[in-house]
Each structure stands twice: as C-alpha cells, then as structure tokens.
Structure 1
C-alpha cells in the first residue's frame, strides 16, 4: 500500500512478531503468518531483527522473497529505514521477526519497534501457565512507553478450555489474537547454531502450509499501516570491482551469506562465480575468493576427502590473491578440525594450527573489524576455537564491551570468526577484494603427513 501523496514515505501494514524469551515459537509463527498471507495472494516482505542466517532461510521459503536483517548497529538506522521503505512500496504487509526476548540485547527488538513505529504481536508459550499469562502480557505492554503491544497469540495451548483461561487473563488494550494448540508437527528442528537450514527440511512447504492453516482466524485482520520514510542509498561506485572475478563457496557447508552482501558486490561491479567444495569443484577462474561461514563440522569427512578445491585454494593463496575467510571459512583454512568426539579431519592447510569444536557456545556478539580502508561491522556466533602459532594482526571490537575476536592476516588471507556485513563499509570491502599481494606466499605442504606446524 503506497501513499502517493507523500513521495518520501510509503504506508504499509506492518507487525513485529516478538516474545518474552527465546524458544516461544516466534519463528514458526512468523513463517506461518507469511505463508498464510502469501497463500491468499498478499505480497509479503519479511525481516529478521539482529544478525541471523538460519531463521531467514525459513522465512524466505515462507514468503517467497529474500529476508534481510534489521539491526541498528550492524546494518545501521539509515539502511534499515531504506530497506523498510522499499518493502513498503512493494508489499501488502511487512513482518519483522524479533530476536531473543523483546527487550533483550543492545540494540533490542524493542529498540527497532520504537525507532520505526512497528506495532508488536507478542507470541507467548502458554503451555505451563494459566492466569499468569495475562500478567506477562501486561508486563510486556507496560515496560516501555515508546512501543505498543498490539496483540498476543498464545502458543502450545492444551485445548479450548486452556485457551479460554489464557484469553480471560489478557487486559486491554492488547488484543487477543487467538491460540495455537500444541502440535509437534509444527515445531522446527534445531541444532547447536539454531534451526535446521530450510533445504534440510524435506517437508518444509507442507509444514509451513499446515502451520499457516493452524493460525487463529484473528490473524486475518491485518495490522495497522505504518508510514516508512525514504532514505537514500549510499553512493555506489559501480566500477570499484569492475572486472574483478570473486569466487564464492556456496553449498550446504558454506551457507551463511547475507543476500545483501551479494547485492553489494554486484552493485560495485564484481563478477560473482559460485562453486561447491562439498562437490569437490575446483575454484572457478577468479581474482579473489570468499569463504563464508557454515557447518564444516557437519561435513568434515567430505571436505577432508575432497582434494581438488583444497589444491586450488592453496594455489590461489600462493599467488597472492585475496581470500576472505569468515568463521566456518576460517575453520577450513586451518590444518585440521577436531570434532567433539575427538576425531580429526584434515583441512586446507592455509593457516598453521587447528580448530577444536566445543560443546558450548564459544563466542557471540556484534563486532567491528578494522580493515586497511576502514572499519566493517558484523557479528560472531561460534561453537569452536582455534589453536594457532600465527599471532593475530588485530582484534575486533565488541560495541557492548563483550568478547572480541582475533583477526588473522596471513599473506593474502584475512580470517576471523566475524561474519561481515558488507554494506556497513562497501569501500573497505571492495578495496580488500581488489587488492593483489605483490609477494607470493609459499604453499604449505600438501603431503598426507599433515599437520606440519607445532601446535601450542
């Protein structure tokens, strides 16, 4: 819905789907809403608060469109505003899935709701409560006066009688939107980093349609329209990467890519060439290489057995061509990967040392990485640690004062646990990908008796 009388603003019904905590079912509800609206012919655009790769995969399949992050730090307010304005001009409804609890983190989902005037739909797991449900709704509604809890859905209720108790506990002006009964068939499976990837759920479309049909009829009343003001996009240098061929690992192992990162590279003139290390595809003819994050720990045996891409990777590095390795990408650049069961798999041997998987979270938080041409924002989220004799060239900065991450430069390789958000500084990203090292880096040994470096 577009307000043609105001050229710098667009109006569209919009809703933030949030919860008092993680695990309440907000991803399932957001995906179900997107699929329900899509199934009746509405144009749906979905966003996800904060850094995330997995939830957006599910939400993209539900809505039929790429899902971008909204984060006041990593993405920035101006870019968030531009993305929302563009979505409002193209959509009949905008959904924004929150992250963690509504007020958790800095910036929080509530901060985003307040900044952009998004009404909030609270999703609350009511399975183990009755009248206390209303107290939680009341607390969410009254905790801050700069956001509005528009409605509430009770999730995982036992039946009609239970739902009625929950409904009677809710005070106005928060609207009771309805209840979703307990059903294991609607739950989305998870692993250590979050939900399974969309491509791993064979019956995902069936689950989405089932979840959409299970939503209460209250969702069929669209939320109020929100006015989203225009914000011009930063200047684009379409020649900065003109003629630069960037090879990008992309498959079930290397799957953690923000769609907007690819858009930035294309806007700045790059020629993107994808390949699959899992399929043992050699590197495409490229001037630079990007190894994004993903799940090396789930595919360690296959990666270790596939020699073509490893050989090409070492040759690319030895020629001084840029390599950006993020999180899982850095893990495969080590000499070996130790899994939680103690077994080891040989990796590509670009960096001395090994990666050791952990049973607990080893790093989480927003980050800033200083590149030669300026800082780039991003985030880290990992269940592993590295042991290496290579000293960090720098450390990232956590804006909230939490754990920083080591940043390694080894010849033309830039590696860290940080997933970078390219649009936070496209010039710095373009400069890195277009830089050619003048001095070649010697290849590590490719013999089968690796590792060749002493570990600390």
Structure 2
C-alpha cells in the first residue's frame, strides 16, 4: 500500500503553546475549503481527538510507535492517505519530549514537523527557538513554523525577520478568543459538552485564513503493509459499553478491534438509562464520574442492573473512571461523598494534584497489553491485586484487581496491542500475570 499526500506534524516547544486548537482550526479550515482532511493524535490522549473529529468530520486515531506499534502507525496513515487531501498529526507535549516523542513519530513516517510557537513577549528570540527546533535533530525536517498569539502585524514581521535560513513563517496568528477552548483537570472539555463547538471551530478557521495559513504543507509518500487478519475471538459475544458525559474515554482502535474479533457492540448511559441492554459482557471505560457523582448515585435502577450483571459472574472491565464507579464511595473535589456500585470494597477520593501518569504494560500469559495511566484520584481498598502493570515511563505501576468476572484498574489498555488478552477478559477467562522476572520489553 502506497500513497502521496500533503502532511505535517503539528507540534510545539512544549505544552500550552496552542497546538491543539491550531490543529483543530487547520482541519476545519481545509475541510471548509472542500478537502478531505484526516487528523491523528500522537500518544495516549482521549480528549483532543474528540475535538479533532468534530473539526475534520472524520474519525481520529491515536498513533504511538510504542503503544500502538510502528506497523500500525504506518498502516493507519497510509490507509488514510488513499483518499485524503491532507493529513495532520497533532503532537504531544514538546516536540522532543517523551520516548518515543512526537519527533520520533515524524521521523518514522517521514513527515515534516510544523512547530507552533507562542510568541507572546518574544521578538528576535523567536528565531532562536525556531533554530533550536530545526537543528536539534538533523534527521527531522523542520521547514516552517507558526507564530501564535502575536500582538500586531508589526510583531509578526519581526518574528519573520528573526528566522534562520531554511525556516520560513507559515503564518502569524493574532491573539483572538476564537482560538481558545475550555479545559479542566484531565485536559480539554469534552467535545460533546460544548454546544457551540462548530461555531468556535469555524471562527478559529477564519482567524487562520486571515493569517495566511490556508496553504497546504509539502507532500510526503507513505507506505505500509496491510495488517494481518484479526482472529474472531469474540464471535457471538455482545458487549455493553458505557458511553456518556461520565464515561467516554474510548479509543476508536479499541472499538474497531472488538468488532473485528466478532463482538457485537451496544451502548448505554449510566447517567440517564434505567437498565442495561442485553449483553454477555460489560465495559465501564474511563471518563469523569467525579463530575457526575450525585447523578450516578441517584440512578438506583442502573446501579442495581450493573450489580446484577456482576453477581451473575458475567465479564466486566472497569478502566480508571470505571474502577472509580465500582467502589463503595466516590469523594469528589468538593469533599462530597457519593454511593457507587460497591462491587469492590473501599473508596476513591479526588486529590488536589495528578496522582499517576505514564506508559504501562500488563503482562499475562495471553500477551502484553500496552497502554497508559493518568488520574487525579486515590484508591483505598482491602482487595489484594491479582496483577500489576509494568511501568514503562512515569509514575508507579498500577494494581489490577480481578474478582468474579470483574477486571478493574486505573490502567487504560490499547486493545490492538493484545487481542488475545482482551478477548480473554471479555470472555471472563482468568488473567494469569507473568512474574516480573519473565517480563520482556520490546520498544
């Protein structure tokens, strides 16, 4: 499989430079011009892709050479390039931050990096920052940069004049409220919570058009091997998935894999529904249950339905926010306590700061499930973990609890990395962890 398409990695010197909204606005700008725009996100992020899907009108997948694998990165981009007029990849953190970094992905795919640099309070130093980004890794092409949050046209001219030879200014974006989007403790506010998101994106796209950012990046040629057929390990299994404002952290790649393995997917809302759909297995993904504790606690019919599912011994996966809902009590950031499902003893309490962050793996006899952890709550429980994830980067490993068909952890898994293990979870089979002495890691 091979295709040639204009493509760029939208990145930055660090977080907070505005790259997420610039990526979304670029996607909307070119979509409004009639182009088929495909956007991807580097790293384990749920929230930015929600906005990018609305901006582009197309599905957004995560790319990460370790978590999703190099072959999948190549395949997803090359597949998209078959009919895309433009491919944008939003980086994570700073261009060279993390292992693998956004720069590593750009080099792997042969895509130029296009840094967004916040130019507030900066003049000629802008050129020094651009020079550093362009020359830090000689193997990474950086031909253009974007100046963000400039104060005036003259400010933009000064920035342009400061750039080193070989690096040009694609555009200078003025400070404008249209380029802002609300956020909270886990990142951007969910796209579904912003009633005026389409209008915001159209306004942001107009800002970029007026700043001269309506040109296409240079073309790149992408190649990939077609993936191997997915084993039909979940044929005939119906999985009910929680999906609403409280539970929404769902990788498209995870859903695609479950369907490819033969599972029938159905969705329900723990916030508003009074019963579960007919299902063989249940999945409570991550999200924001801490923002909806009172509503979840008041929906007694749904709580009872989930309890009956668990009491029957049917499989149930609870990830992060799902784990929080499985405890006896959730204490929100205001200190208010809410009664949860009570499927596992103990409680979770929101903390004033981030409690865990980083890439992790769950090693079992079936396979290695790769993923990450990211949460602001603390768990207190008397249960002894059945297994622990392996820390690849970041904070300490997460416990994994298995009881009567329930698998619960703060760990978020990327299902395509371990189809056999994922199928075992949703079939209710025992997870047999591999002791740390036998663990192997292949970057």
TM-score of the two chains, using structure 1 as the length reference: 0.92
Matched, 1:228 2:230: no
Say yes or no: does 1:65 pair with 2:30.
Answer: no
Q: CA deviation at 1:436?
A: 6.1
Note if contact 1:73-1:107 (Cα within 8 Å) is conserved in structure 2: yes
Q: Show CA shifts across 1:98-139 (max 9, x none).
A: 000000011100000111111111101001111111100000
Q: Work out which of the residue numbers 75, 89, 95 in structure 2 matches 1:96.
A: 89
Q: How many Å separate the matches in 1 of 2:365 and 2:337?
A: 35
Aligned equivalent of 1:211: 204
Are 1:387 and 2:380 an aligned pair?
yes
Contact persistence 1:275–1:281 (CA under 8 A): no
Match of 1:237 in 2: 231
> Partner residue of 2:436?
none
Show structure 1 runs of 5+ residues with no match: 1-7, 438-456
Matches within 5 A, 1:18-417: 18-215=11-208, 216=210, 218-238=212-232, 240-400=233-393, 402-417=395-410
**Cα distance in structure 2, aligned partners of 1:101 and 1:20:** 5
Instruction: State the Cα RMSD in Å.
Output: 1.2
8 Å Cα contact 2:37-2:56 kept in structure 1: yes
Determine if contact 2:348/2:378 at 8 Å carries over to the other structure: yes
Task: Point out 4+ residue stretches in structure 1 off by more than 3 angstroms.
Answer: none
**Which of 10, 17, 27 is equivalent to 2:3?**
10
**Counterpart-to-counterpart distance in 1, 2:177 and 2:343:** 44
Offset of residue 90 of structure 1: 1.9
Question: What is the deviation of 1:281?
Answer: 2.9
The Cα of 1:181 is off from its aligned counterpart by 0.6
Task: Tell me by how many angstroms 1:185 deviates.
Answer: 3.0
**Structure 1 residues 32-51: Cα deviation after superposition (integer angstroms, max 9, x where no partner):** 11001101111100000000
Quote how far apart the aligned CAs of 1:401 are: 6.5
CA distance in 2, matches of 1:350, 1:234: 38
State whether residues 38 and 44 of structure 1, in contact with CA within 8 Å, keep that contact through their aligned partners in structure 2: yes
3-state SS, counterpart of residue 219 of structure 1:
coil
Instruction: Point out where structure 2 has 5 or more consecutive residues left out of the alignment.
Output: 431-443
Give the Cα separation in 1 of the matches to 2:403 and 2:353.
28
Offset of residue 154 of structure 1: 0.7
- Give the superposition deviation at 1:372: 4.8
Q: How far apart are 1:329 and its partner, in Å?
A: 0.3
Give secondary structure in 1 for the equivalent of 2:98.
Answer: coil
Contact 2:249 2:285 (C-alpha < 8 Å) held by counterparts: yes
Aligned counterparts, 1:415-454, within 5 A = 415-435=408-428
Could you tell me how far 1:172 is from its partner in structure 2?
A: 2.1
Deviation of the 1:243 alpha carbon: 1.1
Deviation at 1:280, TM superposition (A): 3.4
CA offset at residue 403 of structure 1?
1.8
